Amino acid sequence: MPIDRHTRLPLREVQLRTSRSSGPGGQHANVTASRVEAVFRVADSRTLTEEQKRRITARCGPLVVAVAQDARSQARNRELALERLRRRLASALAVPRTRRPTKPTEGSRRRRLEAKRRQATRKDTRRRPEAE
């Protein structure tokens, strides 16, 4: 299962559990185990590096779980659960870009000072006139 461009996770590391789906559905939902739960134990993974394991554990915890019970079929719910697990792991592995501070532009500086002047003038006109 591809997680991102550089990381692939073998399906043998993901435990799939099925159970009966909750909610309405009548006779079909009462007898079929269509709910699928995909469980990934971060510490047991052999394909992830220690840095990747640390990053996922810090963001998602030691156990990453994705559940799907949207569809009627177990096969479709399995696909949905694996896709949700993949998205969760991909977002946990994403390294945020470092912010580079920028300087304000000349125009923004000028607009800010002009707004301050307008505000000061507005407040000056609200004052009582000075006695002469």
Domain positions in the chain are 11-93
Evaluate whether 65 touches 79 at the Cβ level (below 8 Å). no
Whole-number pLDDT of residue 54: 92
**CATH 1.10.3210.10 fits domain 11-93:** no
Is pTM beyond 0.75? Reply is no
Q: In what order do the strands lie in the sheet with 35-41?
A: 14-19, 35-41, 63-68
Whole-number pLDDT of residue 101: 92
Whole-number pLDDT of residue 116: 97
Residue 43 gets which letter from DSSP?
A: T
Whole-number pLDDT of residue 86: 92
Report, in angstroms and rounded to the nearest whole number, the Rg of the chain calculated over CA atoms: 28
For helices 74-93 and 50-60, angle between their N-to-C axes, nearest 10 degrees: 110
Nearest-angstrom CA–CA distance, 68 and 74: 9
pLDDT beneath 70: ranges in the chain:
23-31
Whole-number pLDDT of residue 11: 85
Whole-number pLDDT of residue 27: 64
Instruction: Identify residue 85 by its one-letter amino acid code.
Output: L
Residue 14, SS3? strand
Tokens of 40: 């990934």
